[in-house]
Chain A
Amino acid sequence: MPARATGQIVLATGVLALAGIVAQQTTVIPVSPLYAKVGPTVFPWMVAAGLALLGLLLLIEALRGGWPADDHDEQTRVDGRALGWVLAGLVANVVLIGPLGFILASTLLFCCVARAFGSTQLPRDAAIAFVFAALTYVGFARVLGINIGAGLVERFF
Chain B
Amino acid sequence: METLAALGHGFAVALTPINLLWAFAGVTVGTAVGVLPGLGPALTIALLLPITFKVDATAAFILFAGIYYGAMYGGSTTSILLNTPGESATIITALEGNRMARRGRAGAALATAAIGSFVAGTLGTLGITFVAPVIVEFALRFGPAEYFALMVLAFVTVSAVLGNSSVRGLTSLFFGIFLGLIGVDLQTGQPRFTFGLDELLDGINVIVVAVGLFAVGETLYLAARHRFGRDEIIPMRGSLWMTAEEWKRSWKPWLRGSAIGFPIGALPAGGAEVPTFLSYYLEKKLSRKPEEFGNGAIEGVAGPEAANNASAAGVLVPMLTLGLPTSATAAIILSAFQSYGINPGPLLLQNQPELVWGLIASLYIGNVMLLVLNLPLIGLWVRILTIPAPLLYGGILVFATIGTYGISNSPIDLILLYLIGGIGYLMRRYDFPTAPVIIGMILGPLAEQEFRRAMGISQGDPTVFLTHPLSAFLLALAALALAAPHLYRLLVRNRGDKAA
Give the B-binding residues of A (Cβ under 8 A).
Answer: 7-8, 11, 15, 18, 22, 25-26, 29-32, 35, 37-40, 42-44, 47, 50-51, 54-55, 57-58, 61, 67-71, 75-80, 82-83, 85-87, 89-90, 93-94, 97-98, 102, 105-106, 109-111, 113-119, 125, 128-129, 132-133, 136, 140, 144-149
Given contacts A83-B223, A111-B394, contact A47 B188 (CB under 8 A): no
> Once the chains bind, are B178 and A22 in contact (CB under 8 Å)?
yes
Given contacts A67-B168, A113-B393, contact A148 B223 (CB under 8 A): no
Q: Which residue of B lies closest to A133 (CB)?
A: B398
> Once the chains bind, are B406 and A147 in contact (CB under 8 Å)?
yes
Residue of A26, A51, A83, A148 near B405 (CB, 8 A) is A148
> Once the chains bind, are A118 and B401 in contact (CB under 8 Å)?
no
Interface of A, helix, strand, loop or mixed by DSSP: helix
Q: Which residue of A lies closest to B228 (CB)?
A: A75
> Once the chains bind, are A94 and B411 in contact (CB under 8 Å)?
yes
Q: Which residue of B lies closest to A112 (CB)?
A: B394
User: Which of B186-231 touch A at CB < 8 Å?
Assistant: 187-188, 190-193, 195, 216, 219-220, 222-228
Q: B165-185: contact bitstring with A at CB < 8 Å (1 yes, 0 no)?
A: 101101100110110010001
| CA A54 to CA B223, docked complex, whole Å | 29
Given contacts A32-B188, A109-B398, contact A57 B167 (CB under 8 A): yes
Chain B proximity of A30: nearest CB distance (Å): 6
> Once the chains bind, are A22 and B398 in contact (CB under 8 Å)?
no
Chain A proximity of B390: nearest CB distance (Å): 4
Q: B388-399: contact bitstring with A at CB < 8 Å (1 yes, 0 no)?
A: 111101110111
Residue of A44, A85, A145, A146 near B223 (CB, 8 A) is A85
Given contacts A67-B431, A76-B225, contact A18 B178 (CB under 8 A): yes
Residue of B165, B187, B394, B455 near A110 (CB, 8 A) is B394
Which chain B residues border A44 with CB–CB below 8 Å? 181, 192-193
> Once the chains bind, are B406 and A116 in contact (CB under 8 Å)?
no
| CA A145 to CA B54, docked complex, whole Å | 9
| CA A29 to CA B184, docked complex, whole Å | 10
> Once the chains bind, are B395 and A69 in contact (CB under 8 Å)?
no
> Once the chains bind, are A97 and B405 in contact (CB under 8 Å)?
yes
Residue of A18, A94, A145 near B415 (CB, 8 A) is A94
Asked whether any CB of chain A lies closer than 8 Å to the CB of B490, the reply is no
> Once the chains bind, are B429 and A69 in contact (CB under 8 Å)?
yes
Which chain A residues border B192 with CB–CB below 8 Å? 25-26, 29, 40, 44
> Once the chains bind, are B431 and A70 in contact (CB under 8 Å)?
yes
Q: Which residue of A lies closest to B51 (CB)?
A: A144
Asked whether any CB of chain A lies closer than 8 Å to the CB of B254, the reply is no
Which chain B residues border A93 with CB–CB below 8 Å? 401, 414
Sample (13) of A-B pairs whose CB atoms are under 8 Å apart: A7-B429, A15-B171, A50-B174, A55-B171, A67-B165, A77-B225, A82-B223, A93-B414, A105-B401, A109-B397, A110-B395, A114-B390, A118-B227
Q: B447-482: contact bitstring with A at CB < 8 Å (1 yes, 0 no)?
A: 010011001100110000000000000000000000
Chain A proximity of B32: nearest CB distance (Å): 15
User: Which of B361-394 touch A at CB < 8 Å?
Assistant: 388-391, 393-394
Asked whether any CB of chain A lies closer than 8 Å to the CB of B133, the reply is no
| CA A32 to CA B190, docked complex, whole Å | 9
Chain A proximity of B333: nearest CB distance (Å): 20
Which chain B residues border A42 with CB–CB below 8 Å? 451-452, 455
Chain A proximity of B143: nearest CB distance (Å): 15
> Once the chains bind, are A54 and B402 in contact (CB under 8 Å)?
no
Which chain B residues border A116 with CB–CB below 8 Å? 223, 226, 390, 393
| CA A114 to CA B429, docked complex, whole Å | 21
Chain A proximity of B486: nearest CB distance (Å): 12
Asked whether any CB of chain A lies closer than 8 Å to the CB of B418, the reply is yes
Chain B proximity of A113: nearest CB distance (Å): 4
> Once the chains bind, are B393 and A117 in contact (CB under 8 Å)?
yes
Asked whether any CB of chain A lies closer than 8 Å to the CB of B243, the reply is no
Given contacts A76-B225, A109-B401, A117-B223, 17 further A-B contacts (CB under 8 A): A11-B426, A18-B175, A42-B451, A47-B177, A50-B174, A51-B175, A58-B168, A83-B220, A89-B397, A110-B397, A116-B393, A117-B390, A117-B394, A118-B227, A129-B398, A148-B405, A148-B409
Asked whether any CB of chain A lies closer than 8 Å to the CB of B488, the reply is no
Residue of A29, A83, A87, A132 near B398 (CB, 8 A) is A132
Chain A proximity of B387: nearest CB distance (Å): 11
Q: Which residue of A lies closest to B398 (CB)?
A: A106
Q: Which residue of B lies closest to A146 (CB)?
A: B406
* 4 residue pairs, one from A and one from B, having the closest CB atoms: A119-B390, A114-B390, A37-B460, A110-B394
Chain A proximity of B155: nearest CB distance (Å): 10
Q: B415-433: contact bitstring with A at CB < 8 Å (1 yes, 0 no)?
A: 1001001000010111100
| CA A148 to CA B399, docked complex, whole Å | 11
Which chain B residues border A149 with CB–CB below 8 Å? 405, 409
| CA A55 to CA B174, docked complex, whole Å | 11
Which chain A residues border B195 with CB–CB below 8 Å? 25
Asked whether any CB of chain A lies closer than 8 Å to the CB of B50, the reply is yes
Q: Which residue of A lies closest to B392 (CB)?
A: A117
Residue of B181, B401, B460 near A43 (CB, 8 A) is B181
| CA A83 to CA B31, docked complex, whole Å | 29
Q: Which residue of B lies closest to A68 (CB)?
A: B431
| CA A87 to CA B425, docked complex, whole Å | 12
Residue of A43, A70, A79, A90 near B448 (CB, 8 A) is A43
| CA A95 to CA B390, docked complex, whole Å | 23
Which chain B residues border A76 with CB–CB below 8 Å? 225, 228
User: Which of B35-53 touch A at CB < 8 Å?
Assistant: 50-51
| CA A149 to CA B224, docked complex, whole Å | 30
